[in-house]
Every structure is written in structure tokens, then in C-alpha cells.
């Protein structure tokens, strides 16, 4: 059976986003229903991977220990409802650093494809910002926009990659994916 892989943005998809950045575990708060949605995926045999821009590192707003602590909280919160996040890929750079990994660049997606040895064509990829959708589309993944986080603004601004599907939140995306099978 082929690997069922899904790639999720973090801020605004799994947890509540903040214009001031998520700088501590205390500031990391799940969007209602998102943890349970990940658990549904896990229990249906999906590998759930996170790809997140974290320029707060490059800006010096928080350090790696803090990012690890935030992710430990996220992993534990998902585990507590019976799910699992397989891996978290992050870009620590600022836009000025012109790296290959910061979305809309495709570097994190390519790394995920390499690590899991999968062709990303058609792999569902969920985000709330245009750059998430652009990174996904550039490797042939299937972009899903949630209206949580920056999603409503992203939808209003338009110019979404062709084939982008829009859902209220991650729980609705997951319901669609699981019901479609
Ligand atoms: Mg986001
Ligand atoms: Zn980067």
C-alpha cells in the first residue's frame, strides 16, 4: 500500500496564530478540533508531517530550546488525544537570508519527499497562507486552504494556486479526505 502522507502548516492550522509570533510553549494553543483531526488521520494510517516557517529563530525572538519545547508540547497534546505527528520540519531563517527552505520556497517539501522517499504529487498539503499553498503547488502537492489563522485574508486576497480547495478548518479538511476514501 502506498504511504499516505499529509503535510501541515503549524501556525494558523494546528494552533492559533499570532502576529507577535508563538515564542513560548504557553503561547502555543491548539485550534479547537485540530488535535482530534490529526488523531483521526493517524488512526486511519496517515503519516502526519509539519512544515513550518519559524523566522522568529532568525530574528532572535526565541531560541532552539524554546522551539523544541513548543514542539514537545504539540507532540504531547496530539498524543493525548490518540494521534501522532511523525516529524516537524522547520525553516529558522528570515526572508533576508534567501534560503531554499522558507515557504514559498519548496526546500522543506523536497526534504520531506526525500526523507519519506515519496513523490509529492497529489500529497495533501494544508496551510493558511498563500506561501504554504505556493510551496505545495510548486512540487505538485495538492493545496488545501483553511480559513483559520490568516486563511480568510488569504482567500480574500485571492491568486490561489490552481486546484486549491478551501475548507473552514483542519477538521473539515480531514473529514473530506477520510470520507473521500
Ligand atoms: Mg500559517
Ligand atoms: Zn530556511
Name residues with Cβ closer than 5 Å to ligand 1, which is an ion: 9, 11-12, 128-129
Full-model pTM: 0.96
Here the CATH number for the domain that contains residue 68 is 3.40.50.1000
Task: Find the domain containing 84 and state its range.
Answer: 5-179
CA of 99 to the centre of ligand 2 (A): 5
Phi, psi of 127 (to 5 degrees): -150, 170
Count how many domains the chain has: 1
The better pLDDT of the pair 180, 101 is held by: 101
Task: Please give the Cα distance from 122 to 119 (Å, whole number).
Answer: 8
pLDDT value for 122? 96
In the reported structure, the alpha carbon of residue 153 is separated from the centroid of ligand 2 by a whole-number distance in angstroms of 24
Percentage with pLDDT > 70 across the chain: 98
Amino acid at each position: 500500500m502506498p504511504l499516505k502522507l499529509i503535510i501541515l502548516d503549524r501556525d494558523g492550522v494546528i494552533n492559533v496564530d499570532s502576529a507577535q509570533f508563538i515564542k513560548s510553549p504557553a503561547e502555543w494553543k491548539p485550534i479547537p478540533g485540530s488535535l482530534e483531526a490529526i488523531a483521526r488521520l493517524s488512526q486511519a494510517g496517515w503519516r502526519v508531517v509539519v512544515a513550518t516557517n519559524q523566522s522568529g529563530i532568525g530574528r532572535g525572538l526565541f531560541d532552539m530550546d524554546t522551539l523544541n519545547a513548543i514542539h514537545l508540547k504539540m507532540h504531547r497534546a496530539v498524543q493525548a488525544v490518540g494521534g501522532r505527528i511523525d516529524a516537524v520540519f522547520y525553516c529558522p531563517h528570515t526572508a533576508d537570508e534567501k534560503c531554499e527552505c522558507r515557504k514559498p520556497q519548496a526546500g522543506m517539501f523536497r526534504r520531506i519527499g526525500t526523507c519519506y522517499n515519496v513523490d509529492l504529487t497529489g500529497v495533501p498539503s494544508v496551510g493558511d497562507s498563500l506561501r504554504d499553498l505556493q510551496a505545495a503547488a510548486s512540487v505538485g502537492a495538492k493545496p488545501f486552504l483553511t480559513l483559520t489563522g490568516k486563511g480568510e485574508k488569504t482567500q480574500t486576497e485571492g491568486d490561489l494556486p490552481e486546484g486549491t480547495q478551501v475548507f473552514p478548518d483542519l477538521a473539515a479538511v480531514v473529514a473530506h479526505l477520510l470520507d473521500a476514501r
